[in-house]
C-alpha cells in the first residue's frame, strides 16, 4: 500500500531530553491513523516534524512521496494541540486569511466555505469578531480553517480535547466523510476510546519510543491471551446518540447571533 | 513576492489600520503638536505685563523719561522693513505690555501719610502697584516696589526695571554731558546673520531657523515611531502566541516570513500615518493657516534632501529595531515577562536620541561621524547630520550599507529566536536557553 507519510530513523532531542527516538512509522494512504500515548510520549513533536515546523536531528520524513516542502504544506490540513484564532478578526476575514496562506485565493475559499457555513450554522456570525463567538462556535471556525484548502491529508493533534459534545459529533462525522473520499487522517489522542472507534491503524508511543504499531485488529489479536477480557456488556444506547436524539426531539434550532447577544 | 508573505502583510496592515488606536494616535499626535504651537503663539500674544502703576519720583529725574521710554515705538515696528529676514526671525517677539504709569505727587515728608491710601488702592486693586524712587535713585540703583504679592508679576517687574534702567542710564550720561541720542545709537546690539559660503546660496539657507525646527521634529518622529511601532511588533508577536494561532500559521508559512510580514505590514502602517500627517501638513501650509501661526510670509517648503533622508533612515532604523523587538518578544508569553528584555532596545534607542547634540553642534566631529556609522544610532544621527550639514556622500553610503548589513544580521538572529520561541509555552526561558535556540534552530 502506498504511504502518505513515512518516517525512518527519526530522532529529536531538546537539550538533554529525547523527545523522539529512532522512530519508524508509515501511514498508508486513505486510512485513519491514530498516534496514541500518554502526555510527553512524543506525539506532538512527531507531528510537528511531519509538518516541518520542527526539524528532526536525524532520520528522514517523506510526505506524499516527497521531502517536506512549502508546496506540500498546502496539501495538508493541520490542527495543532495549541490552537487558537485572532480574537479581533472577523470570522470571514479569518477564514479567508487562513485559506490565503495555504495558497487558496479568496473566491475559491468563499465558494468552498459556503456549504460548511450553512451546515454548521455559522452563516449569521461571519461578520462578527471571533471574540464575540461562543467557545463552541470558535471551535467550528477553527476546524473550518483547518480544512478550507481541501487538503489531501489531515493531521489533528488531540482534536477532541476541549470540544463540546456537539462538536465532537460534528468532527467525527466530518472525519468519516473525509475518509470516504479516500483521504488520509492522522490524529493523536490519549483517549483510547476514540482511537478504537475511529482508527484503522494505530501506533503507541511511550517515552519517545514506539511500542506498538498495526491495525486495531492485529494488535488486539496480539494481546488476546495476555490481557483480561472485559465482562460482557448488556447493549444499551450510547450517551452520545441519546444526546443527539434529545436535541432533535426538543424541536429547537441552534441559537442565532441576536439571541445570544 | 511570495503570495503568502503578501497575505501576512495585508492582514497585519488592515488589522492595525482598522483599530481605533491607530486613528486616535494619527490625529492626536499632530493635534498635541499643533496645540503646543498655538499655545506658544497665544502666550506670546497675551499681555504679560499690564496694570496701572503709580510712581512716586522723589528724585524728580525719572518719571517723564519713563513715560517717554514706555511710549516710544518699539524697534520691531519701526525697523522691520530694513532688517534682514534672518535677524528678524531670531528675535523673540516683543512682550506685549499694557501698562499705565501715573505720577503721585509727594515729597519725602508727605510720603508716609500717603502710604495708607496707596496701600489701600493696591489692596482694592484700583492700582496694580506703586513704585518709590528716592532722591538718590541714580546712585543707589534700587526702586521700592509695593504690590499685593512680592512673588507675582515677575515679568511686569522686570519690564519696569528695564524701562527704568534705560532712563536712568540716559540721566546719568546727561549728568556727564553725553547726549542721550548717542546712547540710543551706541547700545545697538550686533546680530549674526549666517550665510553659506557659496556664490548662490541654497534655498534652505534662507529658512535656516525653520529648517532646524523641521529637522528637530523629524528627528523626534523617527525616534518616537521606532518606539511605538517596535511596541506594536512586540505586542503582535505576543498576541499570536497568546491566541495560540501561531502554530496554525507556521504550518502554512515559514516563521521568518511570518516575522517579516509583520514587520513590513506595520511598517506600511507607519508610512500611512506619515502620509496622513503629510496631507494635514500641506493644509497647514496654506496662507490662512500660516498667518494664524504667526508666519506672515507663509510656511517655507522643506528641502527635498531632508524628506528623502527622513524616509530612508526611518525605514532602515525601523527595520533594524523591529527585528530586535520581534526577537525579544518571541521567547515570552506575556508583556510582563518580555518587559525586562524589551528594556534593551528601548534603552539603546533613548541613548541614541540624546546624541542629537553632537550632530547639531559639530556635525563632522569624530563623535557624530562614529555614531552616524554605528547601526543602532545611525538612523537618528545620520538623518540629523544630513539635515544640518550634508556630509560627504561616501559617509551616507557607508552608513546605509552598515545599516543594511545590521538589518540582515538582526533578521537572521531574530528569525532563529523567533522560530523556536514562538512554539515555547509555559516556563519563561533563561538567557542560556535562548542562546541555545540560536545555535540549534535550523
Q: What string of pLDDT tens digits covers the 442 residues of chain B? A: 788 899 999 999 999 898 888 888 888 877 887 787 778 777 766 666 678 899 999 988 899 989 888 887 655 444 444 444 433 333 444 556 778 899 998 888 888 888 989 999 999 888 989 999 988 888 888 999 999 888 888 888 888 998 999 899 989 998 898 888 888 888 778 888 878 787 777 665 666 777 777 788 888 888 888 888 888 898 888 888 888 898 999 889 988 888 999 999 999 998 898 888 888 777 766 666 666 555 555 566 677 788 888 889 999 999 999 999 988 888 888 888 888 888 888 888 888 888 877 777 788 888 888 888 999 889 998 998 888 888 889 999 999 999 999 999 988 888 888 888 888 777 778 888 888 777 776 6
* B251/A80 CB distance under 8 A: yes
A3-14: strand order across its sheet = A17-28, A3-14, A58-63, A66-67
A184-189: strand order across its sheet = A76-79, A153-157, A184-189, A32-36, A201-206, A209-215
ipTM score of complex: 0.86
* Residue showing cell 477532541: A160
* A98/B425 CB distance under 8 A: no
B8 and chain A in contact, CB less than 8 A: yes
A140 Cβ contact partners less than 8 Å away, ≥ 6 residues apart: A120, A122, A167, A170
Cell numbers at A255, concatenated = 441559537
B435 and chain A in contact, CB less than 8 A: no
pLDDT tops 50 at residue A20: yes
pLDDT digits (tens, 9 = 90+) for A41-63: 899 999 999 998 888 999 999 99
What is the nearest CA distance from A248 to chain B, expressed in angstroms?
Answer: 34
* Residue showing cell 522723589: B58
Cell numbers at A91, concatenated = 470570522
Cα separation values, B178 from B181, B183, B370, Å: 9, 8, 57
Q: Which residues of A touch B251 (CB under 8 A)?
A: 51, 53, 73, 76, 78, 80
pLDDT digits (tens, 9 = 90+) for A72-129: 889 999 999 989 999 989 999 999 999 999 999 999 999 999 998 988 888 999 999 9
Q: Which helix (H) or strand (E) element contains residue A11? A: strand A3-14
Could you tell me which residues of chain A have a Cβ less than 8 Å from any Cβ in chain B?
15, 48, 51, 53-55, 70, 73-74, 76, 78-80, 82-89, 93, 97-98, 100-103, 145-146
Note if the pTM is more than 0.80.
no
pLDDT digits (tens, 9 = 90+) for A219-253: 989 888 888 888 888 888 888 888 888 988 988 88
Which stretches within B253-371 are classed as H helix?
A: 255-284, 287-292, 304-329, 335-353, 356-361, 366-371
Helix, strand or coil, per DSSP, at residue A60: strand
Q: Are A148 and A99 in contact (CB under 8 A)?
A: yes
What are the structural domains of chain B? Answer: 3-38+206-440 (no CATH), 47-186 (3.40.190.10)
* Residue showing cell 488592515: B14
d(CA A40, CA B91) in angstroms, rounded, equals 76
* B436/A15 CB distance under 8 A: yes
Q: How many CA atoms lie within 13 A of B92 on its CB side?
A: 7
The sign of the CA dihedral A49, A53, A57, A60 is positive
d(CA B229, CA A153) in angstroms, rounded, equals 39
Q: Are A138 and A91 in contact (CB under 8 A)?
A: no
B7 and chain A in contact, CB less than 8 A: yes
DSSP A173-199: HHHHHHHHTT-EEEEEES-HHHHHHH-
Give pLDDT, residue B56: 92
Fold for domain A1-75+153-160+182-229? Rossmann fold (3.40.50)
Among B5, B243, B256, the strongest candidate for a mutation testing the A interface, having the largest count of A CBs within 10 A, is: B243
Give pLDDT, residue B296: 52
Mean pLDDT in residue range A144-149: 92
Average pLDDT, chain A: 89
Among B250, B422, B426, the strongest candidate for a mutation testing the A interface, having the largest count of A CBs within 10 A, is: B250
d(CA A32, CA A199) in angstroms, rounded, equals 5
Among A57, A101, A139, the strongest candidate for a mutation testing the B interface, having the largest count of B CBs within 10 A, is: A101
Give pLDDT, residue B84: 42
Q: Which helix (H) or strand (E) element contains residue B138? A: helix B137-140
Q: Which residues of B touch A82 (CB under 8 A)?
A: 244, 247, 425
Q: Are B272 and B17 in contact (CB under 8 A)?
A: yes
d(CA B295, CA B287) in angstroms, rounded, equals 9
d(CA A196, CA A191) in angstroms, rounded, equals 9
B243 and chain A in contact, CB less than 8 A: yes
Q: Which residues of A touch B435 (CB under 8 A)?
A: none
* A98/B252 CB distance under 8 A: yes
DSSP A79-145: E-SS----TTSBHHHHHHHHHHTTT--HHHHHHHHHHHHHHTT-GGGTTSBGGGS-HHHHHHHHHHH
Q: Which helix (H) or strand (E) element contains residue B385? A: helix B378-388
Radius of gyration of chain A (CA): 20
Give the torsion through C-alpha atoms of A102, A103, A108, A114, to 10 deg. 10
Report the residue count for chain A: 261
Chain A: residue whose CA lies nearest to B242 = A84
Radius of gyration of chain B (CA): 31
Give pLDDT, residue B80: 41
Burial (CB count <10 Å: 0-12, 13-18, 19+), residue B128:
buried
d(CA B360, CA B356) in angstroms, rounded, equals 6
DSSP B205: G
d(CA A90, CA A125) in angstroms, rounded, equals 9
Report the residue count for chain B: 442
Cell numbers at B427, concatenated = 516556563
- Residue boundaries of the structural domains of chain A: 1-75+153-160+182-229
Amino acid at each position: 500500500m502506498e504511504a502518505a507519510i513515512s518516517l525512518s530513523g527519526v530522532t529529536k532531542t531538546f537539550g538533554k531530553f529525547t523527545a523522539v527516538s529512532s522512530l519508524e512509522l508509515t501511514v498508508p494512504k486513505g486510512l485513519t491513523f491514530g498516534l496514541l500515548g500518554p502526555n510527553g510520549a512524543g506525539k506532538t513533536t512527531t507531528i510537528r516534524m511531519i509538518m516541518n515546523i520542527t526539524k528532526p536531528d536525524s532520520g528522514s520524513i517523506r510526505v506524499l512521496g516527497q521531502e517536506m516542502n512549502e508546496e506540500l504544506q498546502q496539501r495538508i490540513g493541520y490542527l495543532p494541540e495549541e490552537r487558537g484564532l485572532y480574537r479581533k478578526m472577523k470570522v470571514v476575514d479569518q477564514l479567508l486569511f487562513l485559506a490565503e496562506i495555504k495558497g487558496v485565493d479568496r473566491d475559491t475559499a468563499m465558494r468552498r466555505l459556503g456549504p460548511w457555513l450553512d451546515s454548521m450554522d455559522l452563516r449569521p456570525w461571519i461578520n462578527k469578531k471571533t471574540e464575540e463567538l461562543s467557545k463552541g462556535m470558535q471551535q467550528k471556525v477553527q476546524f473550518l480553517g483547518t480544512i478550507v484548502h481541501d487538503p489531501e491529508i489531515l493531521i489533528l493533534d488531540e482534536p477532541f480535547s476541549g470540544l463540546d459534545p456537539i462538536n465532537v459529533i460534528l468532527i467525527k462525522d466530518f472525519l468519516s466523510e473525509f475518509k470516504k473520499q479516500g483521504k488520509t487522517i492522522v490524529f493523536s489522542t490519549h483517549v483510547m476510546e476514540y482511537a478504537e472507534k475511529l482508527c484503522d491503524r494505530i501506533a503507541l508511543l511511550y517515552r519517545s519510543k514506539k511500542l506498538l504499531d498495526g491495525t486495531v485488529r492485529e494488535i488486539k489479536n496480539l494481546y488476546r491471551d495476555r490481557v483480561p477480557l472485559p465482562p460482557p456488556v448488556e447493549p444499551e444506547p450510547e450517551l452520545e446518540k441519546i444526546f443527539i436524539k434529545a436535541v432533535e426531539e426538543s424541536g429547537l434550532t441552534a441559537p442565532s447571533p441576536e439571541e445570544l447577544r | 513576492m511570495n503570495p503568502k508573505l503578501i497575505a501576512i502583510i495585508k492582514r497585519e496592515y488592515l488589522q492595525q489600520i482598522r483599530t481605533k488606536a491607530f486613528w486616535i494616535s494619527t490625529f492626536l499626535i499632530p493635534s498635541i503638536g499643533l496645540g503646543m504651537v498655538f499655545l506658544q503663539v497665544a502666550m506670546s500674544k497675551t499681555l504679560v505685563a499690564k496694570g496701572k502703576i503709580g510712581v512716586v519720583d522723589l528724585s524728580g529725574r525719572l518719571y517723564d523719561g519713563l513715560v517717554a521710554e514706555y511710549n516710544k515705538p518699539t524697534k520691531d515696528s519701526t525697523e522691520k522693513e530694513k532688517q534682514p529676514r534672518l535677524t528678524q526671525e531670531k528675535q523673540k517677539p516683543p512682550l506685549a505690555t499694557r501698562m499705565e504709569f501715573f505720577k503721585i505727587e509727594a515729597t519725602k515728608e508727605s510720603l508716609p501719610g500717603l502710604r495708607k491710601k496707596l496701600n489701600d488702592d493696591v489692596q482694592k486693586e484700583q492700582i496694580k502697584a506703586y513704585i518709590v524712587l528716592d532722591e538718590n535713585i541714580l546712585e543707589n540703583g534700587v526702586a521700592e516696589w509695593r504690590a499685593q504679592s512680592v512673588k507675582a508679576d515677575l515679568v511686569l517687574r522686570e519690564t519696569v526695571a528695564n524701562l527704568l534702567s534705560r532712563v536712568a542710564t540716559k540721566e546719568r550720561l546727561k549728568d556727564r554731558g553725553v547726549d542721550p541720542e548717542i546712547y540710543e545709537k551706541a547700545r545697538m546690539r550686533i546680530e549674526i546673520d549666517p550665510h553659506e559660503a557659496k556664490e548662490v546660496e541654497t534655498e534652505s539657507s534662507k529658512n535656516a531657523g525653520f529648517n532646524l525646527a523641521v529637522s528637530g521634529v523629524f528627528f523626534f518622529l523617527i525616534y518616537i515611531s521606532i518606539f511605538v511601532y517596535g511596541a506594536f511588533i512586540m505586542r503582535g508577536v505576543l498576541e499570536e502566541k497568546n491566541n495560540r494561532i501561531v502554530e496554525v500559521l507556521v504550518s502554512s508559512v515559514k516563521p521568518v516570513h511570518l516575522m517579516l510580514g509583520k514587520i513590513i505590514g506595520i511598517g506600511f502602517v507607519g508610512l500611512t500615518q506619515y502620509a496622513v500627517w503629510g496631507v494635514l501638513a500641506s493644509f497647514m501650509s496654506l496662507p490662512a493657516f500660516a498667518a494664524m501661526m504667526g508666519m506672515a510670509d507663509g510656511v517655507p517648503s522643506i528641502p527635498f534632501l531632508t524628506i528623502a533622508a527622513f524616509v530612508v533612515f526611518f525605514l532602515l532604523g525601523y527595520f533594524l529595531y523591529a527585528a530586535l523587538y520581534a526577537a525579544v518578544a518571541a521567547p515570552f508569553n506575556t508583556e510582563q515577562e518580555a518587559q525586562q528584555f524589551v528594556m534593551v532596545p528601548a534603552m539603546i534607542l533613548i541613548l541614541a536620541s540624546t546624541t542629537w547634540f553632537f550632530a547639531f553642534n559639530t556635525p563632522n566631529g569624530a563623535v557624530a561621524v562614529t555614531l552616524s556609522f554605528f547601526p543602532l544610532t545611525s538612523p537618528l544621527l545620520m538623518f540629523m547630520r544630513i539635515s544640518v550639514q550634508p556630509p560627504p556622500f561616501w559617509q551616507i553610503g557607508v552608513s546605509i550599507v552598515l545599516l543594511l548589513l545590521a538589518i540582515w544580521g538582526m533578521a537572521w538572529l531574530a528569525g532563529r529566536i523567533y522560530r523556536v520561541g514562538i512554539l515555547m509555552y509555559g516556563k519563561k526561558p533563561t538567557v542560556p536557553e535562548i542562546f541555545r535556540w540560536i545555535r540549534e534552530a535550523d
